[in-house]
Amino acid sequence: MILISYTNNETLEFPTVSSAMKYTLDLCLSDIHAVKIKCNNASDTNHLQDYIAGIYKSINLKGE
């Protein structure tokens, strides 16, 4: 189970890390950001946190 809450007040459940990553990237491009991640597996949580941090870092670098 992967649950991610976003700035549009939506919390979505994803079956896989890859589906969560794709949807989160799509929302990020629409200026909707992930604010909370909850997973059954700690390594999934860490992987998603690192991925999302990388997305935001690359967006912020483009804006400079």
* pLDDT, tens only, 24-46: 999 998 999 999 999 999 999 99
Distances (CA, A) of 37 to 1, 10, 61, 62, 63: 11, 12, 24, 25, 26
The domain ranges of the chain are 2-63
56 pLDDT above the threshold of 90: no
Q: How high is the pLDDT of residue 40?
A: 94
Distance in angstroms (rounded) separating the CA atoms of residues 8 and 10? 6
Higher pLDDT, 10 or 59: 10
